[in-house]
Amino acid sequence: MKYNRCIAIITALFFIAVSGLATADVLPGPVPENQVLSINSIVDGVGIATEDTSLVWQIGDAGLTSLPDTTNTYDWPTDRWLGYRSGSIAYVTYSDTIMSNGGQIAEVKSFTMDTHAKSEGLYNIETAKVLTYTSQSGSHLMGQESYVLDIAGNWSGLKEDIICVFARAPENLIPAFCNKVTASSKLTQVTTAQIETVGSLTAVGRARNVPAALNYEISVTPDANSASGYADGIFTTTFTISIMEGRTDGRPIAFGWLNVRPLDGGSLDTYLDDLPEYDQLASTLTFIDTATAVGGVSAFNKGFSYQSGIYCEKCVL
């Protein structure tokens, strides 16, 4: 059989950068009881094979059905705002499915999840997989792997828990946001290939400067035992980003964000009207990247890295 030679090596890096005003993801905090789980599997054989892994995880600062309303949380006796919680909800899904109607398959796979709050550079979910497949008697392999990270948050005050002393915000306000990121790969009619994937995700932070993060990489190469010297099948990747952000309009704290009553006995509603437009949509961004390799493939590599946070190491200009 004659193969059309296909080579694709692509890396996509995406960071939500924040300079000055805080306009990015603020992760929800952990619940008191946390879970740690891991699964390691090895498959090596000839015949029909199926495998299905799925995860749905939700966590919110004020439950899972609504964001807290921080607009009326001023404590007059102490002259302090109480709207300090991030008011965030995180929605995470992960799925990985493979199935074949025969052939020779070898797989080494690991899945680890830890719901504890993470520091920057650490992850709640980590996965790795190496899969080798060779068709027999007309068999083929199908499969799909997917990550979804969806975080939304109401506006709130900026807590004094930024670790770096040089990263103090000029304003004490975090605007509302709603950001969703996905990464997925799909295998169709594969007759021979070696597929490696690595992924990681952060959805719960220890402090406000811990960014939301999603990383995913896939590499398709020929099976070393293949006589053709090519991987054969249809290999597809899709990466998407949808960003919705508010802003503070750069208006200073002179209006009295902390420790100041409305002047001359004015109403709290009038006082709030003088604050920045913290809950108005100020920015949208949509990013979509898709790639497909069909036929004889000598190399197909795609890498995706996303971070969005306040004063995280990679999110500061």
For the chain, what are the domain ranges? 6-284+299-308
Residue 280 backbone phi and psi in degrees, to 5: -100, 140
pLDDT(112) > 80: yes
- Higher confidence at residue 64 or residue 231? 231
Structure confidence at residue 141 (pLDDT): 96
β-pair partners for 316: 18
In the structure, what pLDDT confidence band is assigned to residue 15 with cuts at 50, 70 and 90?
very low
Tens of pLDDT, residues 250-305 = 444 333 344 344 444 554 444 445 554 566 777 888 999 999 999 899 999 999 99
pTM of structure? 0.79
pLDDT tens digits for 212-228?
A: 999 999 999 999 888 88
Query: 67: closest CA among 218, 143, 175, 167?
Result: 175
Backbone angles phi, psi at 35, to 5 degrees: -125, 145
pLDDT for 16 equals: 39
Beta strands in 122-208 (DSSP E): 125-134, 141-153, 156-157, 173-174, 177-202
Comparing 62-71, 75-84, 89-98, 307-316, the range with the smallest average pLDDT is 75-84
Query: Which of 1-10, 18-27, 46-55, 270-279 ranks highest by mean pLDDT?
Result: 46-55
Maximum CA extent, the chain: 86
- Comparing 29-33, 84-88, 219-223, 284-288, the range with the smallest average pLDDT is 84-88
Which residues, in sequence order, are CB contacts of 122 under 8 Å at separation 6+?
202
User: What number of other Cβ atoms are within 10 A of residue 223's Cβ?
Assistant: 21
For residue 234, pLDDT over 50 is answered with yes
- What confidence category does residue 71 fall into, taking pLDDT thresholds of 50, 70 and 90? very low
Q: Is the pLDDT of residue 7 over 60?
A: no
Q: Which tens digit of pLDDT belongs to each residue from 149-177?
A: 999 887 665 554 444 444 444 445 677 78
User: Residue range 78-90: average pLDDT?
Assistant: 59
Average pLDDT over residues 123-141: 95
